[in-house]
Chains A and B, each alone.
Chain A
Amino acid sequence: MQLDSKIPDGPLSEKWDRHRFELKLVNPANKRKFKIIVVGTGLAGGSASATLAELGYEVMTFCIQDSPRRAHSIAAQGGINAAKNYQNDGDSIWRLFYDTIKGGDFRSREANVYRLAQISNNIIDQCVAQGIPFAREYGGQLANRSFGGAQVSRTFYARGQTGQQLLLGAYGSLSRQIAAGKVRLFTRREMLELVVIDGKARGIIARNLVSGEQEKHAADAVVLASGGYGNAFYLSTNAMGSNISAAIASYRKGASFANPCFIQFHPTCIPVHGTYQSKLTLMSESLRNDGRVWVPRNPEDKRPPDQIPETERDYYLEEKYPGFGNLVPRDVASRSAKVQCDMGKGVGDTKLAVYLDIKDAIERDGRDVITEKYGNLFEMYEKITAQNPYETPMMIYPAVHYTMGGLWVDYNLMSAIPGLFVLGEANFSDHGANRLGASALMQGLADGYFIIPYTIGGYLAQASLDTVREDHSAFNESSLQVETRIKKLLSIEGKRTVDDFHRELGHILWENCGMTRKDKGLKKARGLVADLRAEFWENVLVGGSGKEFNQSLEKAGRVADFLDIGELMVIDALERKESCGCHFNEAFQTEENEALRDDENFRHVSAWEYRGEGCDPVFQKEPLEFENVELTQRSYK
């Protein structure tokens, strides 16, 4: 199947305006006749649900948590980018666009990224109107800070809880529509199947996580905003419940999966400390504004950090990248930390950590100023590690954080299945091979508040959809699939727990499909994942029944899907014979050990089409055209 990105014609800066004009509209009186299902209530799903309901559509919104406010967007710390240029430091829509394209190592679409930069400013205005308590200057104006990969200060923030505040804003708007009767909310529901009728997405099968009952829901369009797949690695900064099941179910029904090997490793996380560990905690990238990253120059140096003199410290980011210093993009910062640790210069018990030192900033600005900016982050660090960052440098190491890959979508955010739209982290659209800090919140809200409300109208206005009800045979078939799978999971009664399999999968992926990759390791990983999956379906122990609140069963279904995405990740990494952004294949690097792209052969989106169990997925290529920016070797020196 040919993937058509449907990028509008015309000059870059006019594409979105022109497209909005050309999209067909749904008459206000007709909007209420259309039912839309939204899966997920993070920034993308929450904002989409609220906005679609405001427009008059009948919306049904689903989340796995007990409340929409708990979606994992809530944990985003640092901030949200916008091209407001309030700091008068040379920012512009063009610069945000360029930084994002370059930050993604030229593996995203110009038109999508430009639109994102344009919309960024509307998002800030909208969020201020919602009463989000952004940080302010003394004069009452909005404050900004800097983030990686940019030399301007364009990040808006609410302490270290920006995601929380933006999500509560979207949740407030969603709550208002629930009260108005325009959104029906279904909490503790997990989408397990997509229902496709006549080639179009027409509904979902969801499991009520409290009663175990299956529910069928029909609609005119389905919007997935179900997040990323970082938890395939077992340990990540994602929430425990974050999963890929809704997206993988859609992939199995014909939605192509794009760039699955593009996985972001966040450079500043609290290091791993034990085998029982369940997740990794992020320390906001904003700390790199004021913190300095270093390791001892001498790998044998065992002294505590405060006894290592300045001259014997290696501030490796500042040395190698004087232009951006500690604020290089995440992929560069993460890989650099790994290189230092591989050289034996890592610190702490495991030697898999580097220092992030805030001491100079405290001396420069005073403790009060630093506390105001980062106080809650330091408290969190101290709770976990029992160390006080004001007194001793923090120890950090990269961790799986975000997935740039996701379901393939066109410019309208529609997947390869007509009527299935994908928003936020769940799609692949805007970040290329590396996402810049503070851009995930921007993209989630851009998709939900300002893109889908237009593009879904364009689809509904001309799709000529028949009425479909839940008694349609396609619903029964999908429902039967779900039931069969649950029965299978429960009937295996093997010897290994779900977590045990999950940990092993995570280990395989971390070792072979992590921050640096080799063909040999990837090939090995492919076999290991396939073997593990085979064992999972013969030897997993779930316990309990399917007709009750059963958290072990929930996890089992999700881990089964992580095994599938794990394999796809490895297949994709093997196919991309170049290095770009986060995807660093050791065979392709410059003399200075930077990612070496191959624009001639790999200037494309790799999408994968499902061909049935046991069959290899089919590779599809969407070439990327660059008409406005010059492809260069990324440099942050």
Chain B
Amino acid sequence: MTKTGDKSCINLKLKVWRQKGPDVKGRFETYKTRDVSTDMSFLEMLDVVNEEMILSGKDPIAFDHDCREGICGACGAVVNGRAHGPEKGTTLCQLHMRHFSNGDTVVIEPWRSRAFKVVKDLVVDRSVFDEIIQAGGYISVNTGGAPDGNAIPVPQAAAEKAMDAAACIGCGACVAACPNASAMLFVGAKISQFTLLPQGLPEAKKRALAMIGKMDELGFGNCTNEAECEKECPKEISIENIARMNCEFFKAGFL
């Protein structure tokens, strides 16, 4: 890593996946970019490339992004074969160019999964994640009439574990990293959050069956313990959540 305050610049060769739409064949295109400040974020580097493309009348690279502080889950691309790039526990917007070297070739592709259709270039359709949540990723409580917040004590350790799972940002990196394009880390995290809290227990069985059923229906693969999802998750969510999900599934089905 370069030292603090190092204002050095690097030159890169980018190989970027370009695809006009979901039903059009895509291909890699190569762009050279010069004088990239190592203090830039990856997306700021793409901003600069896009500015040049607009000025020269070319179609800029489409990519999803919003908060640029690693929490909204909008951004994401496979960079040199790694979801969100080479740094552990980092979203693409929080990846900085100081992690690249002068002369590097950087290959940038969208998430690839049968369930995520390409919208354009690096933008994919992740609405299937919303559909899984709609199947049961909540506690069924209407607004109003909730008891006092302190009426149900929650052990601190349980709250912390629930929070570990709830930290999921729904970016889809787990699916992109998995050789089976499985969504089990995403689903397991939501199921775990509610299983670990007393408020979630009344619907635990129904929730597990509904969410897992929906996940299968939408064409996601199954887990074969590759643990690539955990490795690439920008929030470092543990695959123990998948184990907990499986446990909930068995409880719901057989007990």
| In contact, B96 and A384 (Cβ under 8 angstroms) | yes
| Chain B contacts for A178, CB-based, 8 A | 130, 134
Contact with B along A45-79 (1 / 0, CB 8 A): 00100110010000000000111111010110000
- Asked whether B255 is an interface residue with its Cβ less than 8 Å from the other chain, the reply is no
Cα distance A386–B2 when bound, in Å?
A: 8
Kindly state the separation between the CA atoms of A52 and B148 in the bound complex, as whole angstroms: 23
Among B71, B119, B154, point to the contact of A75 (Cβ < 8 A): B71
List the one stretch of A1-9, A125-133, A323-331, A575-583 in contact with chain B. A125-133
Question: Would you call B54 and A131 a contact (CB within 8 A)?
Answer: no
Q: A140-B154, A273-B39 are in contact. Are A74 and B163 (CB under 8 A)?
A: no
B133 within 8 A of A: yes
User: Which of B73, B98, B134, B162 is close to A175, meaning CB atoms less than 8 Å apart?
Assistant: B134
Q: Say whether B155 contacts A349, CB under 8 Å.
A: no
Distance between B175 CB and nearest chain A CB, rounded to angstroms: 14
- Besides A140-B154, A386-B4, 14 other CB < 8 A contacts? A69-B170, A75-B67, A135-B163, A158-B166, A178-B134, A276-B37, A276-B48, A278-B41, A278-B47, A380-B69, A383-B90, A383-B96, A386-B98, A543-B54
Binding site for A on B (CB under 8 A): 1-5, 21, 37, 39-41, 43-44, 47-48, 51, 54-55, 57, 59-60, 62, 64-74, 87, 89-90, 94, 96, 98, 119-120, 123, 125-127, 129-130, 133-135, 137-144, 146-150, 152-156, 159-160, 162-163, 166-167, 169-170, 193-194, 197, 199-200
User: What's the minimum C-beta distance from A137 to chain B, rounded to whole angstroms?
Assistant: 7
Q: Which residues of A are found within 8 Å of B48, using beta-carbon distances? A: 276
Q: In the assembled complex, which residues on chain B have CB atoms less than 8 Å from the CB atom of A570?
A: none
A454 to B44, CA, bound (A): 44
Q: In the assembly, what is the distance between CA of A499 and CA of B125, in Å?
A: 26
Chain A minimum-CB-distance residue to B126? A66
Does chain B have a CB within 8 A of A449?
Answer: yes
Q: Is the CB of B170 within 8 A of A552?
A: no
B66 touches A172 (CB 8 A): no
Please determine whether B64 and A66 come into contact, CB atoms closer than 8 angstroms: yes
B74 contacts which of A66, A68, A450, A499 (Cβ < 8 Å)? A66
State the Cβ distance, A402 to closest chain B Cβ, in Å: 15
- Asked if A126 and B71 sit within 8 Å, CB to CB, the answer is no
| B199 in contact with A129 (CB, 8 Å) | yes
A175 pairs with B163, CB closer than 8 A: no
- A386 and B39 CA atoms in complex are apart in Å by 9
* Shortest Cβ-Cβ A-B pairs, 7 listed: A140-B153, A172-B138, A129-B146, A125-B146, A133-B162, A133-B163, A239-B66
Residues of B within 8 A of A384 (CB): 41, 94, 96
Residue of A75, A135, A176 most packed against chain B (CB within 10 A): A176
Tell me if B199 and A130 are in contact (CB < 8 A): yes
Chain A residues positioned under 8 Å from B4 (CB to CB): 385-387
- Segment at the interface with B among A160-168, A215-223, A518-526, A602-610: A160-168
Q: Is the CB of A379 within 8 A of B60?
A: no
Instruction: List B contacts of A137 (CB < 8 A).
Output: 156
Task: List residues of chain B with CB within 8 A of the CB of A138.
Answer: 156
For the complex formed, measure the closest distance between the CB of A438 and the CB atoms of chain B, giving whole angstroms.
15
In angstroms, Cα B142 to Cα A453, docked, is: 12
Number of chain A residues close to chain B: CB under 8 A: 83
A140-B155, A383-B90 known; A128-B71 Cβ under 8 A: no
A276–B51 Cα distance when bound, in Å, is 11
Q: Could you tell me the distance in whole angstroms from the C-beta of B3 to the nearest C-beta in chain A?
A: 8
Cβ A549 vs Cβ B130 within 8 A: no
Structural contact, A51 and B143, CB atoms closer than 8 A: yes
* Interface status of A473 (Cβ within 8 A of chain B): no
Contacts of A281 in B (CB 8 A): 68-69
Closest chain B residue to A495, Cβ basis: B55
Measured in the bound complex, the distance between the Cα atoms of B72 and A65 in whole Å is 10
Q: Which of B69, B73, B98, B154 contacts A282 (CB 8 A)?
A: B69
Do residues B126 and A131 form an inter-chain contact, with CB atoms below 8 A? no
Of B57, B126, B149, B159, which one neighbours A67 at CB under 8 angstroms? B126
* A139-B130 Cα distance, complex, nearest whole Å: 35
Residues of chain A within 8 A of B69, CB atoms compared = 75, 279, 281-282, 380
Q: State how many angstroms separate the Cβ of B40 from the closest Cβ of chain A.
A: 6
Q: Are B72 and A75 in contact (CB under 8 A)?
A: yes
Contact of B143 (CB < 8 Å), options: A75, A274, A386, A450: A450
- Asked if B72 and A54 sit within 8 Å, CB to CB, the answer is no
| A and B contact pairs by CB, cutoff 8 A, 6 listed | A65-B74, A67-B73, A239-B72, A278-B68, A279-B68, A552-B60
Query: Which partner residue on chain A sits nearest B152 by CB separation?
Result: A128
In contact, A176 and B73 (Cβ under 8 angstroms): no
Asked if A70 and B74 make an inter-chain contact with CB atoms under 8 angstroms apart, the answer reads yes
Q: Write the chain A residue with the least CB distance to B141.
A: A129
A133, A179, A241, A543: the one within 8 Å of B134 (CB):
A179
Residue A461, interface by CB 8 Å = no
Contact with B along A126-156 (1 / 0, CB 8 A): 1111111111111111100000000000001
Question: How far is the CB of A478 from the nearest CB of chain B, in Å?
Answer: 27
A467 proximal to B (CB < 8 A): no
Shortest CB–CB separation between residue A321 and chain B, in angstroms? 29
Q: Is A289 in contact with chain B by the CB < 8 A criterion?
A: no
- Residue A465 interfacial (CB < 8 Å): no
* A24 within 8 Å of B (CB atoms): no
A134/B54 in contact, CB under 8 A = no
The answer to whether A274 touches B39, judged by C-beta atoms less than 8 angstroms apart, is yes
- Does B156 contact A497, Cβ atoms closer than 8 Å? no
Interface check A111, CB cutoff 8 A: no
Are A70 and B66 within 8 A (Cβ)?
A: yes
Check: A551 CB closer than 8 A to any chain B CB. yes
Contact status B200-A131, CB under 8 Å: yes
Q: Which residues of A contact B72 (CB under 8 A)?
A: 65, 70, 72, 74-75, 239
| Contact yes or no, B159 A135, CB < 8 A | yes
Shortest distance between the CB of B2 and any CB in chain A (Å): 7
Q: Is the CB of A164 within 8 A of B59?
A: no
Given known contacts A125-B146, A129-B147, A380-B94, A72 and B67 CB-to-CB distance under 8 angstroms: yes
- Which residues of chain B are within 8 angstroms of A84 by Cβ–Cβ distance? 149-150
Q: How far is the CB of B129 from chain A (nearest CB, A)?
A: 7
List, in ascending order, chain A residues with CB within 8 A of B148's CB: 125
Give chain A residues whose Cβ lies under 8 Å from the Cβ of B141. Answer: 126, 129-130, 173
- Interface residues in A571-629 by Cβ distance below 8 A to B read none
Q: Which residue of the partner chain A has the closest CB to B45?
A: A276
Contact of A131 among B39, B87, B96, B139 (CB under 8 A): B139
Give A74 to B168 CA distance when docked, in angstroms.
12
Q: Is A527 part of the contact surface with B, judged by Cβ < 8 Å?
A: no
The docked-state distance in angstroms from the alpha carbon of A132 to that of B146 is 13
Q: In the bound complex, do residue B154 and residue A136 qualify as a contact, i.e. CB atoms below 8 Å apart? A: yes
Chain A residue numbers with a CB within 8 Å of B146 are 122, 125-126, 128-129
| Bound CA span A127–B197, Å | 13
Q: B143 to A50, Cβ gap below 8 A?
A: yes
Known: A66-B127, A136-B159, A175-B138. A141 touches B153 (CB 8 A): yes
Give which listed residue, B44, B98, B163, contacts A276 with CB less than 8 A. B44
- Checking A69, A129, A278, A385 against B139 with a beta-carbon cut-off of 8 angstroms, the contacting residue is A129
Distance (whole angstroms) from the CB of A213 to the closest CB of chain B: 14
